[in-house]
């Protein structure tokens, strides 16, 4: 792992991974390919922009000529593929972008890696790896008493987003079995932490609560998720790249199962403590229930014993500590929040997705 291509590195998890890897690995060179959609933000990478080991390329993973140029010029031996459309709600309203990026984009990356590493023989000079980042949502929805997802759980996606990610997982595995492309896959649970675009539950709840805006909660709020602090996810990816077995899949989760309502209530309690003079205290009074989204998965849970047993990874940041760190980060980086939320598209999206579902402002 010397010359790395990260796709989607200006997004939430990708930018955290780039900062993490450059701080951990002094001998790497890293190229970041990102088309800078609404969720991509170069402000996420300000602290590394002057690092001589880092290069940014504006472009689409579907642009095979550009991908080919980067692979050839920088002798890329490792691809870490984050680039994806990831928001379930957006996939319900407009699935086409999800198919284009998540399915066709992954296909084009796999093709270029196969051409450079296998057809042209670069893998005879260096050890290479294609690591694909996926999600627990490909497994569908768990009944209340079922065992957690594991690496052999059958796929049962229920939204256009999760279906597109399932397709990309299958493509990656097919390139391993058919062409011998050295791939690994991680399916992660819900990530949270610094620099997450505030359309997702945790940053949106922080943003709205601080400003006295309603906190939208789907349905009864009792949907269950496993929450993973983003830096723990970055450590897991690094371990899989260094020690993971080619062709294998590893599940990565935070080993917790709160309801969405409990997450929002926890954020409110943290803000009550951090901003005792807030006119909106108690912040839980801002919670508003809105119409549930179509096909909303009821429960996710992750069995992470394989990555713990084989690679020695386990989450180090508890949900309580991670939520506290995350809330403090957003409060201390309000300029970043204001910049992101000043985009007209963001306000239109929140109105369309939440308040048109019947929540009261």
| Catalytic residue, candidates 136, 226, 238, 265 | 136
| Catalytic residue, candidates 137, 226, 231, 238 | 137
Cα–Cα distances in angstroms (integers) from residue 134 to residues 139, 163, 166, 280, 282, in the given order: 11, 11, 8, 38, 37
**Sign of the alpha-carbon torsion through 171, 172, 178, 181:** positive
- At 2, is the secondary structure helix, strand, or coil? coil
- At 205, is the secondary structure helix, strand, or coil? helix
Q: What angle do CA 181, 187, 191 make, to 5 degrees?
A: 135
Burial environment of residue 47 by CB neighbours within 10 A (0 to 12, 13 to 18, 19 or more): exposed
Closest CA to 258 of 269, 250, 249, 273: 269
Closest CA to 111 of 165, 64, 173: 64
Burial environment of residue 327 by CB neighbours within 10 A (0 to 12, 13 to 18, 19 or more): buried
Cα–Cα distances in angstroms (integers) from residue 283 to residues 18, 60, 204, 288, 361, in the given order: 34, 41, 13, 11, 14
- Is 345 a catalytic site residue? no
Would you state the structure tokens that stand for residue 335, as one six-digit string?
A: 């300029």
Q: Are 150 and 251 in contact (CB under 8 A)?
A: yes
| Catalytic residue, candidates 60, 107, 112, 161 | 161
Torsion angles phi and psi, residue 245, rounded to 5: -85, 130
Torsion angles phi and psi, residue 219, rounded to 5: 55, -130
Q: Catalytic residue positions?
A: 136-137, 161
């Amino acid at each position: 792992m010397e010359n790395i291509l990260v796709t989607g590195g200006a997004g939430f998890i990708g930018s955290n991974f780039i900062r993490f890897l450059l701080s951990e690995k002094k001998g790497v060179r890293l190229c970041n390919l990102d088309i800078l959609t609404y969720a991509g933000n170069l402000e996420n990478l300000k602290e590394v922009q002057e690092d001589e080991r880092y290069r940014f390329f504006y472009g689409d993973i579907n642009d095979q000529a550009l991908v080919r140029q980067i692979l050839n010029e920088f002798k890329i031996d490792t691809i870490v593929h984050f680039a994806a459309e990831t928001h379930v709600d957006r996939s319900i309203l407009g699935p086409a972008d999800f198919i284009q990026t998540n399915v066709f984009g992954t296909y084009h990356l796999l093709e270029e890696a196969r051409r450079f590493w296998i057809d042209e023989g670069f893998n005879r000079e260096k050890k290479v790896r294609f690591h694909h980042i996926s999600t627990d949502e490909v497994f569908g929805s768990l009944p209340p008493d079922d065992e957690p997802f594991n690496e052999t759980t059958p796929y049962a996606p229920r939204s256009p987003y999760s279906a597109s990610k399932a397709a990309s997982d299958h493509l990656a595995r097919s390139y391993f079995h058919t062409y011998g492309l050295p791939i690994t896959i991680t399916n992660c649970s819900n990530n949270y932490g610094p620099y997450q675009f505030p359309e997702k539950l945790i940053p949106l709840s922080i943003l709205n609560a601080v400003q006295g805006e309603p906190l939208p909660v789907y349905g009864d709020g009792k949907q269950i998720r496993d929450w993973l602090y983003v830096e723990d996810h970055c450590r897991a990816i690094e371990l899989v790249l260094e020690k993971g077995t080619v062709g294998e899949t590893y599940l990565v989760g935070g080993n917790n199962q709160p309801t969405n309502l409990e997450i929002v209530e926890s954020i409110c309690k943290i803000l009550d403590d951090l901003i005792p003079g807030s006119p909106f205290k108690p912040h839980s009074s801002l919670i508003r229930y809105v119409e549930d989204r179509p096909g909303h998965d009821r429960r996710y849970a992750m069995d992470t014993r394989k990555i713990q047993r084989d690679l020695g990874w386990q989450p180090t940041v508890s949900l309580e500590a991670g939520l506290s760190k995350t809330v403090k980060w957003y409060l201390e980086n309000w300029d970043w929040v204001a910049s992101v939320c000043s985009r007209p598209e963001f306000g239109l999206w929140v109105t369309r997705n939440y308040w048109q579902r019947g929540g009261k402002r």
